[in-house]
């Protein structure tokens, strides 16, 4: 790798000497995107996918060209499509075989101007066998650990990604408590698979059930900090552009909110965490 000629954070290519040259890279904690990027292979047809601009913002700030990015909940591959466009290698884990296959086809159909590689692993992100496959894929990139991790889990059972036939599906849990506990297993695994000093991005929303706001975001955040991550930022993202933000039933929700005393969801969270650097061993 050639030495850098400019001053950058250790984990990105941003040239700090020209920091005013990045008007499109966000540094504020409120994200609003007027519409979803539907260019190229970003079709936006998978219920529950995030908008590509979320992946793009995270990749530009927290990874470098040639890095290896790991997505523990690949879905239809939005993060990996952006990796191709921005010149990052990738490993994506998806539980459902049909989704993993379709996602792989979509990623491979994406233009690859930087000649990067993507590996799609079909399996559960909580499973030791899957982690072994990820380690093998990392070796193929001459890495022991990933340089950036995405966690975009189901938001408990808000969208059920399978019919309950797969016991590892985090969206078919019996309770929100079980969801948070099982998310915690994935958060701990992601910590082990990430290089020290590098970042993890958690994208998550809350839910409303039985007359109460369920703060899934903060509960999952706690799992991440308990896993060892340092919390760097909580970004509030406007969900307009997501399926949930389309507002088909907007009037009905407004009526219910007025009747039952709550506010209708218009946001989700993008939380940024850093794995601490290894401490140098104290000299005797
Ligand atoms: C919110 S979606 C991710 C969407 C993705 N970011 C995209 O833009 O397409 C969550 C995905 O996690 C998958 N999933 C659920 N449980 C899983 C598990 N234990 N391991 C791996 N993937 C899982 C679901 O099938 C679903 O595709």
Domain of 203, CATH number, reads: 3.40.50.150
Whether pLDDT at 3 is above 80: no
* Ligand 1 site-directed mutation target among 74, 106, 133, most atoms within 8 Å of CB: 74
Model pLDDT for residues 201-210, shown as the tens digit of each residue:
999 999 999 9
pLDDT of residue 245: 46
The pLDDT assigned to 242 comes to: 61
**Tokens 């079980």 identify what position?**
178
Asked if residue 48 is part of any domain, the answer here is: yes
**Do 51 and 242 meet the contact criterion of CB atoms below 8 Å apart?**
yes
**How many domains does the chain divide into?**
1
Does the residue 260 lie in any domain?
yes
Between these two residues, 206 and 41, which has the higher pLDDT value? 206
pLDDT tens-place string over residues 213-254? 999 999 999 999 999 999 999 999 999 766 544 456 778 888
pLDDT of residue 281: 64
Give me the domain span that covers residue 212. Answer: 35-274
Q: How far is the CA of 73 from the centre of ligand 1 (A)?
A: 4
User: 103 vs 256, which has greater pLDDT?
Assistant: 103
Confidence band for 41, pLDDT divided at 50, 70 and 90: confident
Q: Which pLDDT belongs to residue 247?
A: 54
**Is 82 a domain residue?**
yes
Q: Name the least confident of 42-46, 76-80, 98-102, 272-276.
A: 42-46
Domain membership of residue 9 (yes or no) is no
User: What residue ranges line ligand 1, CB within 6 angstroms?
Assistant: 46, 48-50, 73, 75-78, 93-96, 99, 124-126, 152-154, 161, 168-171
Query: Is 16 within a domain?
Result: no
The closest residue, in CA terms, to atom 16 on ligand 1 is 169
How far is the centre of ligand 1, averaged over its atoms, from the C-alpha of 45 (Å)? 14
Q: Is residue 138 part of a domain?
A: yes
34-38, 70-74, 94-98, 135-139: range with lowest mean pLDDT: 34-38
Distance of alpha carbon 36 from alpha carbon 121, whole angstroms? 27
Using an 8 Å Cβ cutoff, are 62 and 199 in contact? yes
Residue 3 forms part of a structural domain: no
Residue 80 in domain: yes
Structure tokens at 99: 């989704």
């Amino acid at each position: 790798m050639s030495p850098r000629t400019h001053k950058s954070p250790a984990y990105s290519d941003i040239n700090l000497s020209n920091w005013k040259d990045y008007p499109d890279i966000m540094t504020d904690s409120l994200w609003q995107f007027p519409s979803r990027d539907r260019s190229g292979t970003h079709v936006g047809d998978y219920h529950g996918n995030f908008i590509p601009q979320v992946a793009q913002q995270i990749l530009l700030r927290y990874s470098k060209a040639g890095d290896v990015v790991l997505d523990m909940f690949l879905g239809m591959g939005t993060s990996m499509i952006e990796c191709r466009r921005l010149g990052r290698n990738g490993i994506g884990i998806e539980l459902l075989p049909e989704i993993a296959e379709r996602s792989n086809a979509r990623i491979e159909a994406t233009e690859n101007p930087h000649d990067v590689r993507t590996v799609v692993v079909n399996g559960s992100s909580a499973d030791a066998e899957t982690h072994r496959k990820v380690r093998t894929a990392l070796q193929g990139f001459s890495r022991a650990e990933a340089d950036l991790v995405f966690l975009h889990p189901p938001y408990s059972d808000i969208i059920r990604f399978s019919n309950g036939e797969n016991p590892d599906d985090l969206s078919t849990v019996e309770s929100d408590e079980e969801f948070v506990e099982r998310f915690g297993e994935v958060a701990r695994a992601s910590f082990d698979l990430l290089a020290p000093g590098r970042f993890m991005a958690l994208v998550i929303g809350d839910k409303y059930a039985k007359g109460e706001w369920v703060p899934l975001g903060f509960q999952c955040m706690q799992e991440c900090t308990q896993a060892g991550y340092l919390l760097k930022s909580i970004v509030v993202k406007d969900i307009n552009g997501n399926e949930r933000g389309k507002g088909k039933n907007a009037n009905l929700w407004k009526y219910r909110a007025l009747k039952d005393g709550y506010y209708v969801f218009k946001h989700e969270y993008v939380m940024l965490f850093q794995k601490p650097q290894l401490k140098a061993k104290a000299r005797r």
